Amino acid sequence: MSATTTSQPERVRVRKNFDQVAWTWMRYSAVLLIPLAWFHLVLQDVVVGVHKITTDYAIERMANMGWKIYDILLLGFAFAHGMNGVRQVFRDYIHNPKTFRAVSILLLIFWAVITAVGAVALLSINPAAQ
Amino acid sequence: MANIHQFDVIVVGGGGAGLMAALNASKTARTAVISKLYPVRSHTGAAQGGIGAALGNIEEDSPDWHTFDTVKGSDYLGDQDAIEFMCHEAVQAVLDLEHMGLPFTRTADGRIAQRPFGGHTNNVTGKPVRRSCYAADRTGHMILQTLYQQCIKNNTLFYDEFQVMDLLLVDGKAAGVVAVELATGELHVFHAKAVIFATGGHGRIWEITSNAYAYTGDGCAITARRGIPLEDMEFFQFHPTGIFKLGILITEAVRGEGGILFNAKGERFMEKYAPRIKDLASRDVISRAMYLETRAGNDVNGQRFFYLDVTPETVNKYADLDGRTRPDGTPYHVTAAEIMSKIPDIADFCLTYLGVDPTRQPIPVQPTAHYAMGGIPTDKYGRVVVDEKNTVLPGLYAAGEVACVSVHGANRLGTNSLVDLVVFGKHAGLDAAAYANGADFTPLPANPTELVDETIARFQNGSGKERVAKIGSELRAEMFDNVGVFRTQESLEHAVEKVKELRERYLQVKVTDSGKIFNMEMMQTWELGNMLDLALVTAVSALARTESRGGHARDDFPARDDVNWLKHTLAWMNGDQVTLGYKPVVITKYMPKERTY
Amino acid sequence: MEIKLRVFRFNPEKDAKPHFDTFIMDVDPNDRVLDLLEYVKADFDSTLALRRSCAHGVCGSDAMRINGRNYLACKVLVKNLKSDTITVEPLLGLRVIKDLIVDMGPFFENFRSVLPYLINDDPLPADGRERLQSPEQRERFEDTTKCILCAACTTSCPSFWADERYVGPAAIVNAHRFIFDSRDTAAAKRLEILNQQIGVWRCRTAFNCTEACPRDIHITTAIAEVKKAINTGKLD
């Protein structure tokens, strides 16, 4: 005998919301940042060795286009995580929606500028020219 | 000048009966609820064990059996037409609650779960029947929440934290109420065609009580002051299982799930007093048994308490002795986990207040003042009736514990308070709305706030020689000692004199808080006045009734006396004078018999 | 035992600023903090204003801050505080009206905003009986039916302190109670309401609510379940 007359739908569709996307992004990006950070740590401090990291080593590595792109993407990604966190902190303090929107845009610009500066700096490293 | 509001129907009180009345009245009439508490704070929420209805979900049952059990439980003082009406309506009422979303505990086949409760029996075998529909041990909480949720859905208008202080009657008809808004201290006049009182009981006049601080009998006192009698006030239920000293209720469901009462000698003493259903006898019977055990020196440590044991070992042992089985015929054996799932809140209270885990240790319990069978006399539509001939006062209604229909007579059966408030709350709401739609507003009196203004002025200008807290504690002690489970002529005469003395002294109190915003001292001073009025009516009514019946047990008149006392008491207050009258009990099918369990 | 009871006092008709009154009293270790406040009213200062009703933890009137944490004053015993100084303050995050009484208006507004009632316009069972629900389906939302709307959780939440437009834990708990009820049909609507910037995403999983709840509801878990339901659309 069936003990139910379930009225509840099995699945519901909920319209996406920016805060939902931002919240979810924070979780997934945080999870991804863990192996990225560990990879970085293990590579530099164990595989390469912390005493071997010199300006020469850094310049040599940055000659590789693959590493350049990797580092630019890592910068953009980790920094976006951070800026989104800052944005969520501001949520608690800025109650005026217009002000909040303006601040969010400023954070976005800040993120874009810093990432761009970083990218330019990385790309401009050219050991052959020295 | 006070603020004036106009509504077709005003409901005073936001508990189960009030919300039920509001939901039903507001279907056809402009309705507002005035409540001194936020509605979800009401004492309905403290009800634990269940709501009785002969759904027959687990075993055979019938509303007629429920009717007979209620009549018998009332010690034949309940009006049988009203009881029959209530028990038949109960089934639909419970289904209505389920349809509103109440999360009842479920049976394996998905139906509302039911369990045994004191005094509810199979009328053929005389054995306990599973009639109490429950949601763990928080049935009242679920009812209150569900009704409040429905009010939100329905956009019911609430005046929260408004204390109604007076009823306006003009030309023998209800005209409205006067209330103080606690947040501002402003007076508001609510002009209405119909007024429904659903303000609950007055258990706070006793020292040990399961009742909330808010249970100060405001509704009864307000109407009594306006010349409306109070019915059967000598009948007040002492629940046998309150937590020792604190009075917090331990639901009868604990015994329904197999808990056993023991005296200091380790005897299951209810075997002596109710050989057939033992620990599931009705409340008055067990409270009296505890008193008799105490007198025989069998209470624990000479401190007037007993043990309620719901540990699995004890439950299983006595279930075997009683031959108790589950619905499928297997022996009734429980585990600690099962007990916890049936009475989680009780377990929480025991741990919090006593440091006792009820699945491992027995719970110390004693009788606690619990429920007013008496109150404002009404008919089964909630209409207030004002004399021996049941003359209706147009536009005035009462429902729930504040009312006396009378369906509980001399003793209420467990689960019937929730049945009462749902059934009569609904019908009071429907009838009040129908009445309001066919009636005009009665004009307000010239100075509607006169009595309230006078009262407030008296509190502010009192001599201050007496203190509210002192009078209150003396009142509660006097009532518990002398108008408690057992009474005698001597104890009752003492109580009448003492209450009169306290009433004299009450005239000397002064409210020291001169502010208007949340002047809680003012409110509590006023509430004490209500309690003093009801204490006097209770003691005087009890002194006159020279018999023992249900919740009214006289040491000097131990037998029920149907020849002289098969009748309802009506008590009118006039200052310090209480005038008594009597009206017959409605008997339809069930002739009074000796009451044994 | 002797207790030093410090009580937050504010009379809007007299005081420019709140202050604390200190009462030294001899109490039983088994006394509830509510009993202590009643002793103050009876023996020291009858003007003390607070809300209370049932006095055993089921009506939700007397939530307040006791030694820095939210409790029901009637559900915490002196001995359990393990301190001979007891400080009692009104709930945080709601406007103090007088002494220990706060304005509950915003709290109940938030509660009302999540459609806290059963919505089901399907026809009732043909036999007029109850809608069937298995014990497992009933168990799914058992925890959140226990809420007594005392506000201890919401007023312990830092996100609510920061912005009282956040619906707060209590409202989410009451939405949860219906979202996961097999008899209800409006989960999508409630999830939509909670999927806003004042909704569940304000929860920073501080767990203060769970710690404060006098009914031992696993509030943070309930909020997480609502977040998950929004993200997956699944109601299991």
DSSP string, C166-230: S-HHHHHHHHHHHHT-TT---HHHHHHHHSSTTTGGG-----HHHHH-TT---HHHHHHHHHHHH
Looking at the structure, tell me whether residues C83 and C114 fall in a common domain: no
Q: Is B449 helix (H, G, I), strand (E, B) or coil?
A: coil
Among B204, B283, B503, B545, which one carries the catalytic annotation? Answer: B283
| Token reading at B509 | 């109190």
Q: Check if the beta carbon of residue B85 is closer than 8 Å to that of residue B427.
A: no
Nearest residue in chain B measured CA to CA from A2: B109
Residue type, C94: L
pLDDT at A4 (0 to 100): 67
C-alpha distances (whole Å) from C195 to each of A93, C29, C140, C203 are: 20, 46, 22, 12
- Least Cα separation, residue C125 to chain A (angstroms): 9
DSSP state of B350: I
By Cβ distance, the residue of C163, C185, C192 closest to A14 is C192
Q: Check if the beta carbon of residue B449 is closer than 8 Å to that of residue B176.
A: no
By Cβ distance, the residue of B105, B138, B145 closest to C138 is B105
Does the active-site annotation cover B283? yes
| Token reading at B305 | 């308490």
Interface of chain A toward chain C, CB-CB under 8 angstroms: 2-15, 17-20, 22-24, 91-93, 95
Among the residues of chain C, which ranges form H helices?
Answer: 33-39, 78-81, 105-112, 135-140, 158-162, 168-179, 187-194, 208-212, 219-232
Chain B residues within 8 A of A1 when measuring between CB atoms:
109
Domain interval for residue C36: 2-102
The answer for B486, left when phi > 0, alpha when psi is -120 to 50, beta otherwise, is: beta
Average pLDDT across chain C, whole number:
96
Tell me what percent of chain C is helix, strand and coil, each rounded to the nearest 5.
35, 15, 45
Across the B:C interface, residue pairs with CB atoms under 8 Å apart total 159
- Least Cα separation, residue B356 to chain C (angstroms): 13
In whole angstroms, how large is the CA radius of gyration of chain B? 23
Which candidate, B382, B420, B398, B425, places its Cα nearest to that of B19?
B425
Q: How confident is the model at residue A125 (pLDDT cuts 50, 70, 90)?
A: confident
Chain C residues within 8 A of B99 when measuring between CB atoms:
124, 130-131
Nearest residue in chain B measured CA to CA from C40: B469
The fold adopted by the segment(s) A18-129 is 3 helical TM bundles of succinate and fumarate reductases (1.20.1300)
Looking at the structure, tell me whether residues C217 and C160 fall in a common domain: yes
Looking at the structure, tell me whether residues C146 and C170 fall in a common domain: yes
CATH code of the region B450-567: 1.20.58.100
CATH code of the region B243-368: 3.90.700.10
Looking at the structure, tell me whether residues C150 and C70 fall in a common domain: no
Q: Check if the beta carbon of residue B180 is closer than 8 Å to that of residue B191.
A: no
A7 has a chain B CB within 8 A of its CB = no
Chain C residues within 8 A of A5 when measuring between CB atoms:
125, 131-133
pLDDT tens-place string over residues C167-215: 999 999 999 999 999 999 999 999 999 999 899 999 999 999 999 999 9
How far apart, in whole angstroms, are the C-alpha atoms of residue C67 and residue C86? 6
Chain C residues within 8 A of B38 when measuring between CB atoms:
61, 104, 108, 149
Structural domains counted in chain C: 2
Q: How confident is the model at residue A1 (pLDDT cuts 50, 70, 90)?
A: very low
Q: List all residues of chain B from 189 to 228 with a beta carbon under 8 Å from chain C.
A: 212-214
Q: Check if the beta carbon of residue B254 is closer than 8 Å to that of residue B359.
A: no
By Cβ distance, the residue of A5, A12, A93 closest to C188 is A12
State the pairing for strand pair B114-121/B128-133. antiparallel
User: Within 13 A of C19's CA, how many CA atoms are on the CB side?
Assistant: 7
Would you call C130 and B104 a contact, using CB atoms and an 8 Å cutoff?
Answer: yes
Looking at the structure, tell me whether residues C204 and C114 fall in a common domain: yes
Domain ranges for chain B: 243-368, 450-567
Would you call B109 and A4 a contact, using CB atoms and an 8 Å cutoff?
Answer: no
pLDDT at A128 (0 to 100): 64
Would you call A7 and C184 a contact, using CB atoms and an 8 Å cutoff?
Answer: yes
User: Within 13 A of B454's CA, how many CA atoms are on the CB side?
Assistant: 6
Q: Check if the beta carbon of residue B571 is closer than 8 Å to that of residue B583.
A: no
Q: How confident is the model at residue A3 (pLDDT cuts 50, 70, 90)?
A: low
Each residue's pLDDT expressed in tens, for chain C with a length of 236 residues:
999 999 999 999 999 999 999 999 999 999 999 999 999 999 999 999 999 999 999 999 999 999 999 999 999 999 999 999 999 999 999 999 999 999 999 999 999 999 999 999 999 999 999 999 999 999 999 999 999 999 999 999 999 999 989 999 999 999 999 999 999 999 999 999 999 989 999 999 999 999 999 999 999 999 999 999 999 999 98
Extract the runs of DSSP E, i.e. beta strands, from C83-122. 85-89, 96-98, 101-102
How far apart, in whole angstroms, are the C-alpha atoms of residue C32 and residue C73? 7
User: Residue holding tokens 């100060």?
Assistant: B216
- The pLDDT of residue A69 is above 70: yes
Would you call A14 and C195 a contact, using CB atoms and an 8 Å cutoff?
Answer: yes
Low-confidence stretches of chain B (pLDDT < 70) are 1
Cis peptide before B282 (omega within 30 of 0): no
Chain B residues within 8 A of C105 when measuring between CB atoms:
none
Q: Check if the beta carbon of residue B370 is closer than 8 Å to that of residue B283.
A: yes
At B84, which helix (H) or strand (E)? helix B80-99
Domain ranges for chain A: 18-129
